Amino acid sequence: MAGNRVKVILTVAAIAAVIMLLKSPQQEAPLFESRLMMDTIISIRAYPVISKKQLDAAFAEFAKVESKASFHLENSELSALNRNGSLGAASSLTPLLQIAADYFARTDGYFDPSFASLQKAYGFYSGEGRLPGEDEIAGLLRDRCGLGQVLLQNEEGFKLASGSLIDLGGIAGGYAIEKAARVLRESGCSGFLIDDAGDIWFEGSKPDSSNWRIAVRDPRDNGTLALVESRAPLAISTSGDYERFITVDGKRYGHIMNPHSGRPVDYYSSVTIIASEPVTADALSTAVFAMPPEIAFKWVEERNLAVLFLTSTGTIHLSRAGRQYFRQAEAQ
Amino acid sequence: MKDNIPPIFAGKHDWLILLALLAVSLLAWAGHHHGRSDSFNGACRVRILTEPPQELVFNQAQPRPVEVKGRTGLAVIEWGSDKRIRISSSACPCKTCVNMGWTDSSSLICVPNGIIVEPLVNTGQKVDAVTR
């Protein structure tokens, strides 16, 4: 009889322990660190806590990508290409340029890193905004833009048309996230999230097995436009007109250009894309942002992309695939 | 036959012990989940990416603006009457952080000054990250 009493008490104690365990994982804080790199803030959140060396190795991947793909660093390989008009086949920039060329083709030219020439003409790099005239824009579109025309690859390497400029900012972040994720994965980190200025990748699980929870910022009031929750790995990227812009005569112009008109687009306030790879989310959010709604809505449906559009008039449009991922934020 | 089944509670106080164990567990669980309420009280974490990095945590809205020193100079963090937060000024060239306005959920970021202001909901963050 005494044995039964012990069994019952142990059973109930075990149930109690399970209930208590439901609480304990929340108390395990992740490692979270932010660093200023690639002209922005990169954050890594890792469960369980990894070593400083492993974290440094992950951040080092961003530094490596920046050292070769920065538009602003004079000694980067990209700057050498922009300056000299050529780059050897052995360059470590080759994979990134090939990815850029691939997305240029896949997006019908809406993702175009050679728009840097246009962006320069508008003063996005100097910070002194101006509106180029029709002739100037037409000349830039004809002679210096269109990655498929201005960047040629042969066995010797790459040749860039005279006067053309390439800015890989539209994919360098996503590319660096993929490299850093590989480092974290190989170091045995079981769950992590990488945030490159709002371009996000997460994989693995949190200690309490809860979903990763990502908010989509509402640029109108800084609140939450939507939430994405998932346990499966996802890349989420948003393009908007509110962080990089010029102001001319009191009017704001965003940095993403329509490839046909050469003018900054103003169809949307933000476009958020979910993809299975960071580079894809990064490149496609830029490309879709550049597309007029009548093209973009159809284009994303044909590719079954999960996309949340906030149009410049304040209308929210969700692609069919997007309805599986985006949900309305609860009222505060 | 019935007499062969051992009684679950042999002692008259055993059930009290068991009930107490369960009650303590349930109270701990309920208390934990109550603590995760989404109400925002102005609490935020301020990360300053200087060398070495600094971190300040404000557990609730502050009655007066707070000055923090970033990489390029001072920034002022201010709480509104509705407990939302903003960066009201910063020693940065573009003022993107100031133009981000008030928030109670998204982080405010000043890249040149190396300052991140993250709204917190009670003891935990409501979301893991914000895409913007």
How many structural domains compose chain B?
A: 2
Least confident of A50-59, A181-190, B3-12, B51-60: B3-12
What DSSP string runs through A218-231? -TTTSSEEEEEEES
| Minimum Cα–Cα distance from B96: chain A residue | A243
- A234 vs A203: CA distance, rounded Å: 7
Judged against a pLDDT cut of 80, whether residue B105 lies above it is answered with: no
Residues B10, B69, single domain; the answer is no
Mean pLDDT of A145-161: 96
Task: Note whether A2 contacts B: Cβ–Cβ < 8 A.
Answer: yes
If 0-12 CB within 10 Å is exposed, 13-18 middle and 19+ buried, where does residue A204 land? middle
Q: Is the CB of residue A218 less than 8 Å from the CB of residue A224?
A: yes
Residues B57, B112, single domain; the answer is yes
- B65 vs B61: CA distance, rounded Å: 10
Closest chain A C-alpha to B28 CA, distance in angstroms: 7
């200087």: which residue's tokens? Answer: B50
Closest chain A C-alpha to B46 CA, distance in angstroms: 12
Judged against a pLDDT cut of 90, whether residue A135 lies above it is answered with: yes
Judged against a pLDDT cut of 70, whether residue A25 lies above it is answered with: no
Residues B84, B63, single domain; the answer is yes
What DSSP designation does A113 have?
A: G
Task: Note whether A14 contacts B: Cβ–Cβ < 8 A.
Answer: no
Q: Is the CB of residue B44 less than 8 Å from the CB of residue B120?
A: yes
| Minimum Cα–Cα distance from B30: chain A residue | A23
Task: Note whether A212 contacts B: Cβ–Cβ < 8 A.
Answer: yes
CB contact under 8 A, A222 and B28: no
Percent of chain A residues topping a pLDDT of 90: 74
In the beta sheet, which residues pair with residue A217?
A224
Percent of chain B residues topping a pLDDT of 90: 23
What DSSP string runs through A159-213? EE-TT----THHHHHHHHHHHHHHHHHHTT-SEEEEEETTEEEEEE--TT-PPEE
Give the other-Cβ count within 10 Å of A103's Cβ: 24
* Per-residue pLDDT, B99: 85
Contact residues on chain B for A238, CB-CB shorter than 8 A: 131-132
Contact residues on chain A for B80, CB-CB shorter than 8 A: none
Residues B27, B68, single domain; the answer is no
CB contact under 8 A, B28 and A23: yes
- A232 vs A301: CA distance, rounded Å: 22
Task: Note whether A127 contacts B: Cβ–Cβ < 8 A.
Answer: yes
Chain B contacts in chain A segment 84-123 (CB below 8 A): none
pLDDT band at B106 (very low <50, low <70, confident <90, very high): confident
| Minimum Cα–Cα distance from B124: chain A residue | A26
- Residues across chain B: 132
Contact residues on chain B for A45, CB-CB shorter than 8 A: 128-129
Residues B28, B53, single domain; the answer is no
Q: Give me the residue from A34, A216, A242 closest to B131, CB to CB.
A: A216
pLDDT band at A108 (very low <50, low <70, confident <90, very high): very high
Closest chain B C-alpha to A259 CA, distance in angstroms: 23
pLDDT band at A4 (very low <50, low <70, confident <90, very high): low
Q: Is the CB of residue A241 less than 8 Å from the CB of residue A272?
A: no
Phi, psi (degrees; rounded to nearest 5) at A315: -85, 140
Contact residues on chain A for B100, CB-CB shorter than 8 A: 222
Contact residues on chain B for A26, CB-CB shorter than 8 A: 32, 36, 124
Residue B11 falls inside a structural domain: yes
Residues B28, B59, single domain; the answer is no
| Minimum Cα–Cα distance from B37: chain A residue | A332
Q: Is the CB of residue A75 less than 8 Å from the CB of residue A120?
A: no
Judged against a pLDDT cut of 50, whether residue B5 lies above it is answered with: yes
Q: Give me the residue from A23, A193, A221 closest to B128, CB to CB.
A: A193
pLDDT digits (tens, 9 = 90+) for B28-73: 655 544 444 446 788 888 989 888 888 898 988 998 999 999 999 9
- A87 vs A162: CA distance, rounded Å: 13
Q: Give me the residue from A34, A219, A243 closest to B116, CB to CB.
A: A34
Residues B112, B85, single domain; the answer is yes
| Minimum Cα–Cα distance from B48: chain A residue | A34
Task: Note whether A285 contacts B: Cβ–Cβ < 8 A.
Answer: no
- The full set of domains in chain A, from first to last, is 28-71+168-204 (3.10.520.10), 74-165 (1.10.3980.10), 211-332 (3.10.520.10)
CB contact under 8 A, B129 and A214: yes
Residue B89 falls inside a structural domain: yes
Residue B14 falls inside a structural domain: yes
Tokens of A107: 């997006």
Residues B6, B51, single domain; the answer is no
Judged against a pLDDT cut of 60, whether residue A160 lies above it is answered with: yes
Residues B15, B66, single domain; the answer is no
Residues in CB range of B40: below 8 A, 6 or more apart: A332, B83, B84, B104, B105, B119, B121
* Per-residue pLDDT, A20: 59
- A301 vs A278: CA distance, rounded Å: 20
* Per-residue pLDDT, A202: 98
Residues in CB range of A247: below 8 A, 6 or more apart: A129, A253
Q: In what order do the strands lie in the sheet with A191-196?
A: A31-37, A40-47, A191-196, A199-204, A234-240, A268-275, A306-311, A316-318
* Per-residue pLDDT, A26: 47
Residues B8, B63, single domain; the answer is no
Task: For residue B30, give its domain range.
Answer: 2-34
Closest chain B C-alpha to A160 CA, distance in angstroms: 32
Residue B39 falls inside a structural domain: no
Residue B50 falls inside a structural domain: yes
């991140």: which residue's tokens? Answer: B116
Residues B30, B51, single domain; the answer is no
CB contact under 8 A, B131 and A214: yes
Judged against a pLDDT cut of 90, whether residue A231 lies above it is answered with: yes
Residue B128 falls inside a structural domain: no
Dihedral over Cα of B61, B65, B67, B73: its sign: positive
Closest chain B C-alpha to A33 CA, distance in angstroms: 9
- Tell me the ipTM for this assembly: 0.85
pLDDT band at A1 (very low <50, low <70, confident <90, very high): low
Residue B130 falls inside a structural domain: no
Least confident of A10-24, A219-233, A306-320: A10-24
* Per-residue pLDDT, B34: 44
Mean pLDDT of A63-76: 96
């170091």: which residue's tokens? Answer: A187
CB contact under 8 A, A214 and B9: no
Judged against a pLDDT cut of 70, whether residue B20 lies above it is answered with: yes
Residue B13 falls inside a structural domain: yes
Residues B15, B77, single domain; the answer is no
pLDDT digits (tens, 9 = 90+) for A26-63: 446 678 888 888 888 899 999 877 888 999 999 999 99
Tokens of B45: 């974490």
pLDDT band at A247 (very low <50, low <70, confident <90, very high): confident
Which residue type occupies A81? L
